Structure 1
Amino acid sequence: MRVMKWSVIALAVAAGTSQMAVASSQSESKGFLEDSTFDIFNRVLYMNRDFRNGPNGASTSANPAGYREETGLGIRLLYSSGFTQGTVGFGFDAHSLSSIKIDSGRGRYGTGQFARTDDGRGDDTQSEVGGAVKFRISDTVLKYGSQFVASPVFSTDDSRILPEVATGTYLVSNEIEGLELSAGRFTALSSQTGTSRDDINGKGEQGLTSANIFGASYKFTDDLSAAIHRSDVEDYFKKTYVNLNYNLPLTEDQALNFDLNGYKTKGDGQERAGEVDNKIWSLAAAYSIGAHKFTVAHQRSSGDAGYVYGVDGGGTIFLANSVQYSDFNQKDEKSWQARYDINMATFGVPGLSFMTRYVRGTADANYTEREVDMEAKYVIQDGAAKDLSLRVRQAFYRDNAQGDVNDLRFIVEYPLSVL
């Protein structure tokens, strides 16, 4: 599942169009080595899911218990070269992903951090390496190889210690100020627990055959942006996504933000995900005043099935009510959310923030699901441990059909910039 971030499309457009049209990115290239970056990203994740009513078949362990509890360390080495100078710039990106099991067990396995061994335990270590070549003309970049993708219709998930990795070709163009065009074709997707390029579930099973994606995002003004994206996932479905984001400044420290997201999915070919005919949308409104932000959101699903994703990336759900445990995306489900955020920098503690939200959904007269989330995060602002972050996330999920779950996560992240 994906926790939707406010103005994600607007931010992407702003980042992609920061260069003025009179000076292209390629013309300002300093060189292959001169613009290189090398980063080391470390993440420790402790995760506990208590199923309260017993295992109920939820655990995939050889000796299932009524909860899952594991701790892992993920280490990412990320190198990105600059582009060679000239009309056509050449470069490449490379990565190494490694996971280390700190704590797990046959009765507690299954949080999605490690591959499963034959005796039902989590794998002690895993690693993979990959890379992609890239070319740039003006403000258009073509990349081929292994990469991380963040399109609303094809997005690699990064909710555990390691991310998914997609293999394919991706083109992003920012030639016109305010407009970003993208197109891609991906033929493989590895899971967060598997190193095989065709592995979407950590068991080495073939999932994705191919996914063709297209997109356009446009920033009309500093406060108004829109986007439309489309995908064709062979033998699964075709999907269309739309977004409209509007920010309304009220005073120097007050603003309103409106964020509309919607998907239309239709089964195609062999329909390996089943017969899919779904429309789902969410509308969120946020009022910010100083350190405080108050958000309300409504989400609605309709059609012959719920919203389907995963084979096109575990992060492909840019919806307001996709939260820590549930996505509230079942067939004919209606859900609403109330959320509160506070940034403690205003009160003299920069880097400290808190969030809480309540989401309730109903699919029919007999089905109700509810989730309460609470989160605290602190980012060290300076010194030797600058940018080290500590985060605690707690979800209380209640479902009158499938059972209750308490989901606790403690996350430590430490990014290091070597170059």
Structure 2
Amino acid sequence: MRLSSKHVLVLSIASMAGHGAMAGQAESKGFIEDSHLDFMTRNLYWNHDYHSGHNNAQRTADRDRREWGQTFRLDFSSGFTQGLVGFGVDLSGYTVIKLDGGAGHSGQAGVLVPEGNSTAHEASSAGANLKVRVSETELKYGNNLRPYNPVFAPADARLTPATATGFWVVSNELKGLVAEAAHLTAAKDFNSTNLSDDFFAAYAGVASDTVDFLGASYSVTDQLSVSLYGAEYKDIWRQYYGNANYTYPLSDNQSLNFDANLYRTVDEGSSRAGDIDTTAYSLAAAYTWGAHTFKLTYQKIHGDQPFDYLGMGPGTFHDSIYLANSSQLVDFNGPNEKSWGAFYNLDMAAYGVPGLSFGARYIVGRDVDGSRMDADSPYNFYGSERSEDHWERDLEVKYVVQEGSAKGLSVRVRQATHRIGNGASDASADQVRLIVEYPWSIF
């Protein structure tokens, strides 16, 4: 008998809950005693200027997008009741205020709620989860779930985090092994107040009302870790992921790191995104010397469709792409595309300025070829070009206050430039983000 993803989820919950000692739940101090209340403010300025090569009419209409907003977020996480089985709750509330929509511009940069409505100046939403813990296994049910893994990773890079509704279980029963599974039935995007949105194939723009995933990460040694994941987006695709990460220490302040990522995606059910038969992989090698890290990357897409991943609303993109060259503006994930990248990061703590860091990367993509794609594919905006090329340069500066009353306050500036050489499946653009964030633990 072939097991459905729902059957696999139920079996995984049962098996994970039955293993290991009762250390986690046995150490519970109580519902109130282990509870936490955290408050966070985030101020975000977003300026995205398109220049050329738009792949749809909306991009042409929203050529120059600017928005500025403020959010206030309150997260309560209870402890667990004592006993063999512990019970608890998670509660969250979000309030967003639009400070400026960009006079003379679209005001629809997708960073504010509700749903890009440029006339709305504020919005609020809330979510809650019930949670149960047995031993080192925790099961949550609610509409405020935030899994984060290679096949399902709702973003928290705008004013409010995206969340999902459904069941999610995480187990730490075996030392070094973190296993998780979920059955998810609704989404709330980062620019929405609606808790019952669909999930999307981000590039195809088609929706699914159900996502299931199952996966695990295992630390083989202190230097080597591996992970395997699988996901089903109902009537869109099945996606499988594998990773190996190894760090080789050269001395007390020098090391080499090697990272390999592999995705395999095939269409599923009624194939709402059309035929999909894509293999994507990336390789990265990094050298760290004290405060400096240098990294080289290579990425390849095999298939006549792009590598696609999670969306939680029309036109939004989330973080379920762990390929090395996925960047601020583009992902270098076109049909048959190959790309190379060079990265540099500097931690100024070694030079007497703890909390200050710099980052830069430059990526070149070549040979994007959508000429063999089906004419009715939702990915056919890649057109008939056989050798599209483009590049992106990203710069980032971040400072986090290390002590005093403002400890934890961070200021982050991200600037990205993307240029297309030939072809029209993407856009030349410049983007600046300024993010000021202050987290405060109330108790």
Superposition TM-score, scaled by structure 1 size: 0.89
SS in 2 for 1:155: coil
1:303 and 1:158 map into 2 onto residues whose CA distance is 30
Matched, 1:346 2:350: yes
Which segments of 5 or more consecutive residues in structure 1 lack a partner in the other structure? 1-20
Check conservation: 2:345, 2:357, Cα contact below 8 A: yes
Check conservation: 2:186, 2:199, Cα contact below 8 A: no
Counterpart amino acid of residue 415 in structure 1: P
Check conservation: 1:291, 1:346, Cα contact below 8 A: yes
1:406 and 1:148 map into 2 onto residues whose CA distance is 30
Matched, 1:96 2:93: yes
Check conservation: 1:115, 1:122, Cα contact below 8 A: no
Offset of residue 23 of structure 1? 6.5
After TM superposition, the structure 1 = structure 2 runs for residues 198-209 of structure 1, keeping only pairs within 5 Å, are 198-199=196-197, 207-209=207-209
**Aligned twin of 1:329:** 333
Check conservation: 1:157, 1:315, Cα contact below 8 A: yes
Counterpart amino acid of residue 389 in structure 1: S
2:237 and 2:209 map into 1 onto residues whose CA distance is 12
Offset of residue 304 of structure 1? 2.5
Matched, 1:416 2:437: no
**Aligned twin of 2:403:** 382
Check conservation: 1:59, 1:68, Cα contact below 8 A: no
The aligned length equals: 394
Check conservation: 1:388, 1:415, Cα contact below 8 A: yes
1:283 and 1:53 map into 2 onto residues whose CA distance is 31
Per-residue Cα deviation, 1:287-345 (whole angstroms, up to 9, x for no partner): 00000000011111011211111247722111111111111111101011101000001
Per-residue Cα deviation, 1:205-259 (whole angstroms, up to 9, x for no partner): 9933111111121111111110100011111110101111111111000011111
Offset of residue 261 of structure 1? 1.1
Counterpart amino acid of residue 126 in structure 1: A
Counterpart amino acid of residue 180 in structure 2: S
2:335 and 2:161 map into 1 onto residues whose CA distance is 28
2:46 and 2:199 map into 1 onto residues whose CA distance is 19
1:51 and 1:311 map into 2 onto residues whose CA distance is 21
Per-residue Cα deviation, 1:257-304 (whole angstroms, up to 9, x for no partner): 111111111111122223221111111111000000000111110112
1:138 and 1:116 map into 2 onto residues whose CA distance is 40
2:442 and 2:223 map into 1 onto residues whose CA distance is 35
**Aligned twin of 2:263:** 263
SS in 1 for 2:396: strand
1:229 and 1:65 map into 2 onto residues whose CA distance is 37
2:46 and 2:137 map into 1 onto residues whose CA distance is 40
Please point out which of 175, 195, 198 is paired with 2:173. 175
2:122 and 2:355 map into 1 onto residues whose CA distance is 33
SS in 2 for 1:315: coil
Aligned-residue identity in percent? 42
SS in 2 for 1:255: strand
Closer/same/farther in 2, CA of residues 22 and 267 from structure 1, 3 Å limit: closer
Offset of residue 166 of structure 1? 0.4
After TM superposition, the structure 1 = structure 2 runs for residues 3-402 of structure 1, keeping only pairs within 5 Å, are 24-53=23-52, 59=58, 64=61, 66-105=63-102, 107-115=105-113, 121-146=118-143, 147-199=145-197, 207-311=207-311, 314-362=318-366, 363-364=368-369, 366-400=387-421, 401-402=423-424
SS in 1 for 2:51: coil
Check conservation: 1:117, 1:123, Cα contact below 8 A: no
SS in 1 for 2:142: strand
2:418 and 2:246 map into 1 onto residues whose CA distance is 31
1:279 and 1:165 map into 2 onto residues whose CA distance is 28
SS in 2 for 1:113: coil
Closer/same/farther in 2, CA of residues 271 and 201 from structure 1, 3 Å limit: closer
Counterpart amino acid of residue 192 in structure 1: F
Check conservation: 2:199, 2:311, Cα contact below 8 A: no
Closer/same/farther in 2, CA of residues 210 and 411 from structure 1, 3 Å limit: same
Per-residue Cα deviation, 1:359-379 (whole angstroms, up to 9, x for no partner): 000124531010001110000
1:404 and 1:60 map into 2 onto residues whose CA distance is 11
Check conservation: 2:199, 2:211, Cα contact below 8 A: no
Counterpart amino acid of residue 440 in structure 2: L
SS in 2 for 1:345: helix
Counterpart amino acid of residue 100 in structure 1: I
Check conservation: 2:65, 2:108, Cα contact below 8 A: yes
Check conservation: 1:55, 1:65, Cα contact below 8 A: no
Closer/same/farther in 2, CA of residues 320 and 88 from structure 1, 3 Å limit: same
SS in 1 for 2:157: coil
Offset of residue 167 of structure 1? 0.4
2:233 and 2:351 map into 1 onto residues whose CA distance is 48
1:418 and 1:102 map into 2 onto residues whose CA distance is 26
CA RMSD in angstroms, aligned pairs only: 2.3
1:57 and 1:278 map into 2 onto residues whose CA distance is 23
Offset of residue 197 of structure 1? 2.2
Superposition TM-score, scaled by structure 2 size: 0.84
